[in-house]
Chains A and B, each alone.
Chain A
Amino acid sequence: MAGETSNPNFLLTTLEKGVNWTRTRSMWPATFGLACCAIEMMATGTAHYDISRFGMEVFRASPRQADLMIVAGRVSQKMAPVLRQVYDQMAEPKWVISMGACASTGGMFNNYALVQGVDEIVPVDVYVPGCPPGPQSLLHGILTLQDKIMSGEITRARGLIV
């Protein structure tokens, strides 16, 4: 927030910064737990790590109400179309965190069954390494995403329907 004037009750900022700030402070993740990482994602949501400090404790089951998809776990060939559909159903603007080695690269399972990295299906904003990443790692990934949103443009909308 910049541009404080002599009137103390008056704040000036750009629309861009204001919108980005509101976006970062109430990101609602979709519950997209797949495997081991989902348990750590749940742990992030509970008392010890408390994701609500970042305004994100509202895990939404419906993709329509979510801004952020945390792909937590390995994505199989059978799950890939489902994942893409859930992503398509999310409203813009939307972000994706690829949580863990399996979601990011296929991890140790370089075989016929897994998609070798979820970025083959959906665009990924932040990759969180680890197998599984601890809650602290996930929180770090979330903060990184918030930084990214703050520095981005509000007109950015991937796959915008024109």
Chain B
Amino acid sequence: MSDTTRTPEGETPAPAADRPADETNGRLDADGRRREHEIWVAGTEEPDWITNATDEGAQEMLPRDLDPAVSVQRGVTVTDDYLEEEMIVDDERQIINMGPQHPATHGVLRLHMELEGETVRRVKPIIGYLHTGMEKTAETLPYMSGGTNVTRMDYLSPLNNELCYALVVEQLLGVEIPSRGQAIRVLMTELNRVSSHLIWLATFGMDIGALSMMIYGFREREAILAFFEKVTGLRMNHNYIRPGGVAADLPDGWEDDVEGIFDVVRAGLDDYQDLLNGNPIFLDRTQGVGVITPKEAHQYGVTGPIARAAGINFDLRKVFPYSGIEQYDFDVPLGKHGDVFDRYLVRTEEIRQSLRIVEQVLETMPGGDYRTDDRKVTPPPRKRIDESMEALIHHFKLFTEGFKVPVGEAYQAVESPRGELGMYLVSKGAAKPWRLHVRTPSFATVQSLPVMMTDLIVADVIATLASLDPVLGDVDR
């Protein structure tokens, strides 16, 4: 009892008091493992590791006068009565990090924020935490397997990515897709838009505190994913739309499955709108928050539902129609204010319009082949392979060497759920692309974050970010 240094109250004394300062600066033990965390008490002299805490090169904010976005950011002001400019002093600014591991960043986005109290004065988005080198990988894969690569970029709308890739390759190849193949493409991509928007609704609801939305959105999405699984064999990352058509025809009884989706999603949508549209907390947190003006959207290349929520009447399906989507009748919902609430309205209406397109596809699905009969890109039918040696060799060569694409450069864009998804393909006549650049909508959206977030309060940053629906796989590729 007596040899232990026990205080009368039975507490052990602070252990650090008489511990000898060890040679590894107290932070690492002999094995190089970290033993304890350093703590800096405010008011004492700053150690180096505090001073240099944000000294991380590209991960660091620019000096204020060098920040090129500042002049543009000034255009965005939010009039909240609890933000009083004159009450805030300049040296109260602090820089905090949000992410890359943060539940509200939708993946691995990192935001470097300069705060004045609760007010965000500047934001620098730092990306690259999911950089997968897909553009390099695309140069090593033949055109036939390129779809497996691009489908993993925007993992919430894989079919749109595949469609864009197939279209840009077909542009250079100069093949025409039969009308059934085109209709299947439209059907699948529009359903994919619905499922992507449902996930957006789920995560958006979760981020602003409507937790049940998370459950509901995923519940309705399962109906669509079950259909995708039936058609393509996979729930995500399908590699179903390929240059030359689609991988397989629709299964028997697909009409009934699609009609089942209508019932589930439409009933779900009505529920959501009952829940959210009149909810005062929801309105408070979304209206007038995270505004982007049409001019800023043009400047930063922001497209898709975010631009349409700001009132920009531009939808690639209408302006540069692809895959025969011009024969279907649908409207482009537009917002007025460019804030979070308008984005919510635009996206929910887009779900309805997409279902409308799917309904028309269902009624007018043409017969015929689901892929081109151009033997350059399509393997011979299974029956021919059994009969003919040449057909077998042809089949083998097509899947080992792949087909060659004529020399050229082409750009193709499709309206993905997040905006203009474009691919710029450079071919040098080989069986693999020379260069495939992907213009991803989320990249432009994340770039414009400073515009939307400046002068908001921190809680609104979450709502704004959630409303943009950035997919980090899409940003970093």
Contacts and interface: CB of A to CB of B under 8 A. Distances in A.
A48 B237 contact: no
Interface in B91-138: 100-103, 107-108, 128-134, 136-137
B326 to A, nearest CB: 31
Given A76-B132, A111-B136, A114-B132, A38 B222 contact: no
Contacts of B473: 35-36
B133 A112 contact: yes
A39 B199 contact: yes
Interface residues of B, number: 38
Interface string B204-246: 0000000000110011011000000000000111000000000
A134 B228 CA distance: 13
Nearest to B36: A161
Contacts of A38: 107
A78 B128 contact: yes
B156 interface: yes
Interface SS of chain A: helix, strand, loop or mixed? Answer: loop
A112 B155 contact: no
A35 B236 CA distance: 12
Contacts of B190: none
B171 interface: no
B348 interface: no
Interface in A22-56: 31-36, 38-40, 42-43, 46-48
Interface in A84-114: 86, 88, 108-109, 111-114
Interface of A: 31-36, 38-40, 42-43, 46-48, 59, 61, 63, 73-74, 76-79, 82, 86, 88, 108-109, 111-114, 131-132, 134, 159, 161
A118 to B, nearest CB: 14
Given A35-B155, A36-B152, A109-B137, A161 B214 contact: no
A79 B236 CA distance: 23
A146 B411 CA distance: 50
B37 to A, nearest CB: 10
A161 B27 CA distance: 13
A12 B34 CA distance: 40
Contact of A47 (B130, B136, B156, B218): B218
Contacts of A112: 133, 136
Contacts of B64: none
Contact of B131 (A36, A40, A76): A76
A34 B103 contact: no
29 contacts: A34-B107, A34-B130, A35-B130, A35-B132, A35-B472, A39-B236, A42-B203, A42-B218, A43-B222, A46-B214, A46-B215, A47-B219, A48-B222, A73-B130, A74-B130, A76-B130, A76-B476, A78-B128, A78-B129, A79-B100, A86-B101, A109-B134, A111-B136, A111-B137, A113-B133, A114-B132, A114-B133, A131-B237, A161-B35
B24 to A, nearest CB: 14
Nearest to B148: A108
Contact of B130 (A39, A79, A86): A79
B130, B134, B203, B476: residue with the most chain A Cβ atoms closer than 10 Å? B130
A40 to B, nearest CB: 7
Contacts of A46: 202, 214-215, 218-219
B128 A132 contact: no
A34 B33 CA distance: 27
B133 A109 contact: yes
B313 interface: no
B132 A36 contact: no
